[in-house]
Structure formats: structure tokens, C-alpha cells
A and B are shown apart, each in its own frame.
Chain A
Amino acid sequence: MTTPDAMALGNDPQDVTLAGTASTRRNVLDLDDFTPDEIASVLDDTGAMVEVLGRDIKKVPTLRGRVVVTMFYESSTRTRISFEEAGKVLSADVINMASSGSSVDKGESLLNTGLTLQAMGVDVLVVRHPHSGAPYLLARHLPQVSIINAGDGLHAHPTQALLDLYTMRERLGSLSGARVVIVGDVLHSRVARSNLWGLTKMGAQVVLSGPTTLMPLDLLSGRDELEEDHPFAQVEVDTDLDRAIEGADVVMALRLQSERQQGGFLPSIREYIRRWQVTDDRLAKARSGALVMHPGPMNEGVEISTSLAHGESSVIEAQVTNGVAVRMALLYRLCAGRGGRNGEGNS
């Protein structure tokens, strides 16, 4: 399964074994193989990392001597810098590999690049790739390296979902029962897909809203085939944002890529703005104190109004800060417990 169907509700079950058990997690590929307890413990650890980031001297020696490589086959600012900062605060050596200027330009395959890095003794490989499933391929063939999926095609973006969950839990106190409205291009959004796993596992009530052409219709049409206890069985879809937003605790706007109009998914950007832009007026229908989120980068004035993006309800900057802490928690978790030297009893 090198390129799983991006629309698939879940992953091939055999992939679950790639992650290892909760106490010895080896890879972070998506949130579908996390238990609610493991998600909660990652979020707890994240809180401890937030404290480290708040210090005058933002440096702890935890991952001294570990090598983290970020391998991005797609452009990114925040995710890449966030991983780099996370690794450096924990004292790991972080090496950034850009696909241009590397042997990828000479036609080296993803797998051979991965094998080369494994032979160099890399501990963690952070991968972003335009093809869904690329990190799974690496995870299957690189037994000595931990893989973190930093976004694969239309499939998953688990670290973004975890930082979203942390930001919500921190502000709301609990995710259980929270009404979270995700607005926009859910169909092409790996952020939304990973958030669906995380939010439903943590007991949140998820509502998807946006143009019908940008809704994952398999979620609707395939719903009858879902087992009753499947986490997605409870997800609502409501294309009328004004109705969907009523009583929401969180409104998450997704980035609308301008190519979608050329692709025939939208009649016009103006119509999108009129019906689905998250605005102050619409937010007034949500629960008072509701949070406004966006995974970035934003098209201000398209999926979200400028005044809202920088207004009091917005936690968009907190999302970015928390992103570093979440990635620290994951790097720590993956690097610890990887066999080896002698242990110790109490104190």
C-alpha cells in the first residue's frame, strides 16, 4: 500500500503494527492507531514542553547525540521550522534536507534516500511528501529509524491534529462533548482527516461544513457501511454553515486553495466567501467564547475574515506555539525507550 486511497476512512490494518504499542511507539504516521489514552498522555507531555518553551533559556539536554532529519518534498515554513525548533530545544542535531539540491534531483528514489539516511545513523526522519502513504513506505523498510509524518498528500497530518487537540483541550478544559465545526475544503485536507481521528477518539462532536463538492462524500455515502462504533459514524455534515455553527465550541477554518476553482470544485471564490467565510457575524451564533482556529497558511478575506483571524477569539498564534511543544513531546517519546544501555532503579 504505497499510495493508499486518500479518501479511505482508515488505513490498511496491517499498518497499525508499524506504530508499535503505545509504550514503545516507533512511528507517528496518523492518529488512527493512537488510543485515547495515548493521545491524552501526549497532550499531558506537551504541557510540560510548553513550560520549557517559556523559560529564559529554551534548551534541555534530553536528546543530546540524537539526529533528526527533516525531509520535505513539499514546501513548508511553519511545520519545518517547528520541527527544527522542537529538535533543537531538546538538544538533538537537526539536519534539514530539501528535495531540490539533493540527490533527489538526480532521480534517487524516496526509498533509497531513506536507506541512505538510515545507514548514516539517523534516529528520526520527519517526512512531508505530496504522495499519500509515502511515510508508510519508509516506515515499512527502515526498521532502525523512527518516522514522523509531517503531511502526506491528502491523507494525514497527525502532528497538526495533535497541536489542534492540545490547543482546544487547554482552552476548553476537555475535548469530550465539545462541538467542533470544521469549515471548508475538507475533501483535500489532510489536516481535517487527522483531526477527525483525533477529535472523535477524544469524544468531541465533529461537524463538517462547506460546499458539497468539497465534502468527503464517502463519509456520507459510505456511512451505512460503517460499524456503529466506528469513530466516524457520529460525524455530521451540514453544508449550511449558519446552521452548523450554532452552539459550536470551536470553529476551524481550512485553507481554500485557489486551484480549487479551476478544478471545478467551486463556482466562484465570491460565492464561497459569501456562504462559508468564517466571520464575526457567523461566530456570534456559536457558543460565547468559542475558539477560532486555522492550520495556516491563511488566505485572509477568503476562508476567514481578517478581523476574526486576529481578533480575541482567535487562537491561531497559540496553535503555532503549541505546535513546537507537541513535536517536542513526540520526538521525546520516539527517542526514549529505544533499547540499549543499562537502566536504573529508584533514584
Chain B
Amino acid sequence: MASSGTERPERQIMDAQEIQRSMSRIAHEILERNRGVGDLVLVGIHTRGVILSQRLAENIQRFEGSQAPLAELDINLYRDDLQARENPRVRPTKFPVDIQGKRVVLVDDVLFTGRTIRAALDALSDLGRPRQVQLAILVDRGHRELPIRADYVGKNVPTSLDEEVKVRLTETDQNEDVIIVKLGREIK
């Protein structure tokens, strides 16, 4: 979202350590549910989902001693709100692995309306036919507009529609935390 530049109230809901703990718990849960690395492919959704998927892969490597293949997905070509996009950009989708018959774990930072995940599922089906698709998310903020839910959740955070959840990671932002910003206007 574009920032208006005016001072807005914000509050922290996760700090760096909590993010780290959530990511290691989710890594354990993924391994438990899928009985190891086996057929796993971790697919990060640009931009922060890619970073989180890399962190999950590092954790899995540490816990299990074997590597889960990584892929990057950009969903901009699959969005249903093309007309509303200002300065649209597409980032490269990188799929070094075949997802045919694999268990894919989609990774993103915030789950909100579910439209990004809907777009990601469309994008995945153009790239192959995975045996199963699971969803790992750092923050679930509610307000779904589609029948979509996450399999692995870092933190459930009740929000109102005039708030925005921002995940900040050291790789892309200066801080490492999750904050809620009051927008002061209703977003539809």
C-alpha cells in the first residue's frame, strides 16, 4: 500500500524473536504433518513470502539434515484487480523444481482476503499438478473474501478493516517485526 507520509499510530504485534519462534514451530509442523522432507516443495510468494520460505528451508535443514527444494512465485499476472494497480510490476517466477505429484507448501507473510492465495493457486496449476497444496502464513488477520484457510499460522491477529498489517523483515526492511498501522480510512 502507498503511504500517505503523515504520522500514523502503529503498534507492534510480533518482535524479531517471536517471528523466529513462529518460523521454527511452523517448520516442525510441516515436517510432522508430511513425515519428513520427502516430496516437499516450499513455494514463496513474492516478496516477503520468498524470504520466509527461505527461512523455513533453513530451519528444516537444521532439524532434519536434508534440504527442501525452494521455488518463487509471482502472482501479479494472476490478480483479479489489474485495473486498480498503480505502477504494476512483475517479478520473475523461479521454478527450478517440477511440482508434479509433489506436496507444495505455499508461503506468504499475511493472509487477509485470500485473493493472493487464489491467484497463487491459479499460477501453480499452470506450472504442474501437485499432489497436495498446503498454506503457511506468518500472520492471519481475518476478513476472508474467499473460502481459503491456512494450514500453518504464525499468529492469528484480529484486525479491523481500517488497519493494515505490515510484516517487516531485515532482508527487505530495516526492522524485523510485525506491526499494525491505523489507516484512518476504510479500505474496501
A interface residues, Cβ below 8 angstroms from B: 22-24, 41, 44-45, 47-49, 51-52, 55, 57, 59-63, 90, 329, 332-333, 335-347
B115 — nearest CB in chain A belongs to which residue? A344
Q: For B83, give its contact among A22, A45, A341 (CB under 8 Å).
A: A341
Most chain A beta-carbon neighbours within 10 Å: one of B74, B87, B91, B114: B87
Residues of A with C-beta under 8 A to B23 = none
- Distance between Cα atoms of A62 and B88 in the complex (Å): 12
Question: Is A51 touching B110 in the complex (CB atoms < 8 A)?
Answer: no
- Distance between Cα atoms of A79 and B156 in the complex (Å): 51
Residues of B with C-beta under 8 A to A47 = 92
A347-B127 contact given A48-B92, A342-B84, CB 8 Å threshold: no
- Distance between Cα atoms of A19 and B115 in the complex (Å): 31
- The list of the 5 closest CB pairs from A to B, nearest first, reads A340-B83, A343-B84, A336-B88, A23-B87, A347-B112
Residues of A with C-beta under 8 A to B127 = 55
- 15 A–B contact pairs at CB < 8 A? A41-B89, A45-B90, A48-B91, A51-B93, A52-B93, A60-B78, A62-B82, A336-B83, A337-B83, A337-B85, A343-B85, A344-B115, A346-B110, A346-B166, A347-B111
Question: Is B93 touching A346 in the complex (CB atoms < 8 A)?
Answer: no
Question: Is A347 touching B126 in the complex (CB atoms < 8 A)?
Answer: no
Residues of A with C-beta under 8 A to B114 = 347
- Distance between Cα atoms of A97 and B123 in the complex (Å): 32
- Distance between Cα atoms of A106 and B154 in the complex (Å): 67
Question: Is A341 touching B90 in the complex (CB atoms < 8 A)?
Answer: no
Residues of B with C-beta under 8 A to A336 = 82-83, 85, 88
B114 — nearest CB in chain A belongs to which residue? A347
A341-B92 contact given A57-B126, A347-B117, CB 8 Å threshold: no
CB distance from B186 to the nearest CB of A (A): 10
B83 — nearest CB in chain A belongs to which residue? A340
- Distance between Cα atoms of A336 and B111 in the complex (Å): 24
Question: Is A52 touching B77 in the complex (CB atoms < 8 A)?
Answer: yes
Question: Is A341 touching B81 in the complex (CB atoms < 8 A)?
Answer: yes
Residues of A with C-beta under 8 A to B86 = 23-24, 337
Q: For A61, give its contact among B89, B122, B166 (CB under 8 Å).
A: B122
B84 — nearest CB in chain A belongs to which residue? A343
Residues of B with C-beta under 8 A to A333 = 88
Question: Is A341 touching B111 in the complex (CB atoms < 8 A)?
Answer: no
Residues of B with C-beta under 8 A to A340 = 83-84
Q: What sequence of 0s and 1s flags, for each residue 53-96 of chain B, a beta carbon within 8 Å of any chain A beta carbon?
A: 00000000000000000000010111101111111111111100
Question: Is A347 touching B116 in the complex (CB atoms < 8 A)?
Answer: yes
- A-B contacts besides A22-B87, A44-B91, 14 pairs, CB < 8 Å: A49-B90, A51-B92, A55-B126, A62-B82, A332-B77, A336-B83, A340-B84, A343-B187, A343-B188, A344-B84, A345-B164, A346-B165, A347-B108, A347-B117
B interface residues, Cβ below 8 angstroms from A: 1, 74, 76-79, 81-94, 108-117, 122-123, 126-127, 164-166, 187-188
Residues of B with C-beta under 8 A to A337 = 83-88
B82 — nearest CB in chain A belongs to which residue? A336
B188 — nearest CB in chain A belongs to which residue? A342
Question: Is A346 touching B87 in the complex (CB atoms < 8 A)?
Answer: no
CB distance from A88 to the nearest CB of B (A): 14
Question: Is B78 touching A61 in the complex (CB atoms < 8 A)?
Answer: yes
Question: Is B113 touching A338 in the complex (CB atoms < 8 A)?
Answer: no
Residues of B with C-beta under 8 A to A59 = 126
CB distance from A285 to the nearest CB of B (A): 36
Residues of B with C-beta under 8 A to A63 = 82
A347 — nearest CB in chain B belongs to which residue? B112
Question: Is B90 touching A329 in the complex (CB atoms < 8 A)?
Answer: yes
- Distance between Cα atoms of A341 and B87 in the complex (Å): 16
A344-B164 contact given A48-B90, A332-B88, CB 8 Å threshold: no
- Distance between Cα atoms of A62 and B126 in the complex (Å): 13
- Distance between Cα atoms of A338 and B88 in the complex (Å): 11
A51-B94 contact given A61-B122, A62-B78, A343-B187, CB 8 Å threshold: yes
Residues of A with C-beta under 8 A to B1 = 345-346
Question: Is B113 touching A347 in the complex (CB atoms < 8 A)?
Answer: yes
B145 — nearest CB in chain A belongs to which residue? A344
Residues of B with C-beta under 8 A to A335 = 82
Residues of B with C-beta under 8 A to A345 = 1, 112-113, 164, 187
CB distance from A333 to the nearest CB of B (A): 6
- Distance between Cα atoms of A329 and B109 in the complex (Å): 27
